[in-house]
Amino acid sequence: MGPQDLVAATREVADAMPGVKTHPLPYETETDAAQVVRDSPADIDVFLFTGIVPYELAVAAGALDRPASFVTYTGAPLLNAMLRLLRDGHDPSSFSIDILDVGQVEETLREAGIATSGAHVLPYRRGLTASDIVEFHRERAAEGVNIAITCLRSAYDVLEGDITVVRLAPSIHSIRYATQQLLAAVGQARSDDAQVVVGLCDLPAAAEADLRRETSGLGSAVVASSGGPFVLFTTRGPLDAATSGFTELPLVAKLGAVHGTVRIGFGVGGSAAEAEALAKRALGRAGKLGKQAAVVSMRNDIDLTLSGTATKPVRRPSLSLLSQRAGLSTATLMRLRDMLAEQDEPTVTTRSVAAALSVQQRTARRLLNRLERAGAAQSTGRQGLEGSGRPLVTYELYL
């Protein structure tokens, strides 16, 4: 994402890297960044911005729900600007420059044998606008600094013609580095997503049916053990989504209101044995917190206490990750999301899904079961039918 010309240059580099397929998201001005993110295709795994300003604007607007990063402009881009100035007959020893850190600029200049005393730097800070950047360069020009170097196209467009201005562009190396960092982040997220989770639930035997119903959103299997706690098996991804990033577990309060004592311990590990050992530790810690408590234990002595009531909307995974988790195509998930947007009711049935996707009801049932196991659907009741026929199960989808 970025201005049209930088998007094209960045794609040329990134598309040549193994395992990368890019999608262009150009904007007219950096202030459009957040809306461009919101309007982007759902099957995008990560966002790579051509600079820090649009990235920070998207972050500030809360628009980013997937890994994202930006290309930096230090090192080679700045040296290229120095060479262009020399080629055009300008003295590069005195200039104003924006966005970059003072230390980064001085280090690059020293390596190139250029004096640093003539560098006037406006470092990036949150809230910095194109107008602020233009004003900075004009003030320096009024003081006799006649060369401006900017990282922002909108500032370049305003300054061009008034003073000598050079626009920085990311180097091939910086694009490759930023892309590799994003690939590593996605790989780590997917690796974490697949970690094994064992849950130990200490509650009365009579609560089994309620436990199975309330944990359906975790995509978990529930096993009743003789004389011991109920055992849940799932993976980290659905647990992360259902607990809003390991912060809350509303089912504790729901089950507690009916059955009194409810203590749950989740263990997250690389194997079932490791997860079970951590779950025992978590259950022990939950027992010390009161009659209604839930704890998640991970490696490195990390123990997270979950709130028993919902305090914020449940955080859901991106459609691309959900596609892998549920074994469904992203196109199918997008059609379901469009279906939800077009209807008045928040729930669906096998019949309504079958009609929307033009498939048979048994196919729709399998699809909803997969979404339920992946933590993206939850049965909410039954819908009676007129005449003969069994009632339809209603589901709430989290897309």
User: Does 389 score more than 90 pLDDT?
Assistant: no
User: Does 49 score more than 90 pLDDT?
Assistant: yes
Tell me, what amino acid is at 286? A
Residue 387 pLDDT: 46
Which of these, 274, 271, 255, lies nearest to 263 by C-alpha position?
255
| Across 243-263, average pLDDT | 87
Average per-residue pLDDT for the chain: 85
Distance, in Å, from the CA atom of 187 to the CA atom of 177, rounded to the nearest integer, reads 15
SS (H, E, C) 214-254: HCHHHCCEEECCCCCCEEEEEEHHHHHHHCCCCCECCHHHH
Angle at 173 between CA 171 and CA 177, to 5 degrees: 120
Burial of 28 (0-12, 13-18, 19+ CB in 10 A): exposed
User: Does 70 score more than 60 pLDDT?
Assistant: yes
Torsion of CA 291, 295, 301, 302, to 10 degrees: -140
pLDDT tens-digit series, residues 72-131: 887 788 888 888 888 888 887 889 999 988 888 888 888 878 878 889 999 988 888 999
Residue 190 pLDDT: 65
- DSSP secondary-structure letter at 16? T
User: Does 177 score more than 90 pLDDT?
Assistant: no
- For residue 386, name the pLDDT band (cuts at 50, 70, 90): very low
Residue 236 pLDDT: 84
For the chain, the C-alpha Rg in angstroms (whole number) is 27
Top-confidence residue, 263 or 222: 263
Top-confidence residue, 281 or 190: 281
Residue 315 pLDDT: 52
| Across 198-216, average pLDDT | 88
Show the tokens assigned to 196: 């094994």
Residue 225 pLDDT: 74
- For residue 68, name the pLDDT band (cuts at 50, 70, 90): confident
Worst-scoring range by mean pLDDT, 35-39, 152-156, 328-332, 384-388?
384-388
H/E segment holding residue 99 = strand 95-99
